[in-house]
Amino acid sequence: MLKYIAALTLLISGALNILASSEASAAAAVSPLAISIAPPVQFPSDEFSITGARLSVLWGHHRDMYGFDIGALGNITDQTFTGIGLSGLFNLTYGNTTAIGLQAAGLLNMNTQKTDVYGLQLAGGANWNTAQSSVVGLQLALLANHSPNTVVYGAQLGLYNRAQDVYGFQIGLVNFAKSLHGIQIGLVNFQRNRNLRRLTISQRRILTWVKSNQKCARLAKKCFTGTS
């Protein structure tokens, strides 16, 4: 009986030691530097968290990224990104994003979870923030700033701009905000809280011209026919 108890104790102890070792290994999966050509040709592997800098010849892919993230083509982070991101084509984060100073991509910045931008979010194509987020600074994209659940303290500049709340400016062809506390400049501007489409200067001139011509037509009709 004592032999069985001793054996069971050793078995449980061994299992606990193995579990503790695996947890320590998981906690130790941190590196201050990552060098990547393209996954899986990178060091360290994508299970690591990087707390310093990630330099990618093409693109890199890791669990977390804290620091400077530079990729010739792109950067991919599975969980948390905090720092400065710069890439030739895309920055993609599946977890939470905190961009401090700059997040810039030649084509696309895509952040799928809570995102906070302090500074400049710059894209040659689009800035795409889908979750509840905030931008303190400037969103600038050639095509679109699509941030339907984002509060913007500053400005959005692009052909198409969309945000939840805007405290500042939206400048583009099409601007949409659920709540606007500032100015929209564009061809079509919409604020859900006012349910109002504002007219541009050109549209106002056209409307004024139409109204003036209607008055002239009524005046001519009255002069020639004697009717109103």
Question: CB–CB of 53/34 below 8 Å?
Answer: yes
Give the span between the Cα atoms of 47 and 198, in whole angstroms: 50
Ramachandran angles phi, psi of 33, nearest 5°: -145, 140
Tokens of 132: 């509840």
Q: Give 124-168 pLDDT, tens digit per residue.
A: 999 999 999 999 999 999 999 999 999 999 999 999 999 999 999
Q: Give 13-30 pLDDT, tens digit per residue.
A: 343 233 333 333 445 499
Q: Give 167-204 pLDDT, tens digit per residue.
A: 999 999 999 999 999 999 999 999 877 644 444 444 45
**Could you tell me which of 156, 114, 109, 108 has the C-alpha nearest to residue 131?**
114
More confident residue, 7 or 134: 134
Give the span between the Cα atoms of 97 and 119, in whole angstroms: 13
pLDDT confidence bin for 9, thresholds 50/70/90: very low
Give the span between the Cα atoms of 80 and 95, in whole angstroms: 5
Supply the mean pLDDT for the chain: 82
**Burial zone of 226 (CB within 10 Å; 0-12 exposed, 13-18 middle, 19+ buried):** exposed
Q: 24-27, long-range: CB within 8 Å, 24+ apart, which pairs?
A: none
pLDDT confidence bin for 80, thresholds 50/70/90: very high
Tokens of 199: 């007219």
At 213 the pLDDT is 60
**Burial zone of 16 (CB within 10 Å; 0-12 exposed, 13-18 middle, 19+ buried):** exposed
Query: By mean pLDDT, which of 6-10, 54-58, 200-204, 213-217 is the weakest?
Result: 6-10
Q: Give 24-75 pLDDT, tens digit per residue.
A: 344 549 999 999 999 999 999 999 999 999 999 999 999 999 999 999 999 9
At 3 the pLDDT is 45
pLDDT of 225 higher than 70: no
More confident residue, 58 or 219: 58
At 192 the pLDDT is 79
At 48 the pLDDT is 95
225 SS3 class: helix
Tokens of 219: 């005046």
Give the span between the Cα atoms of 101 and 178, in whole angstroms: 26
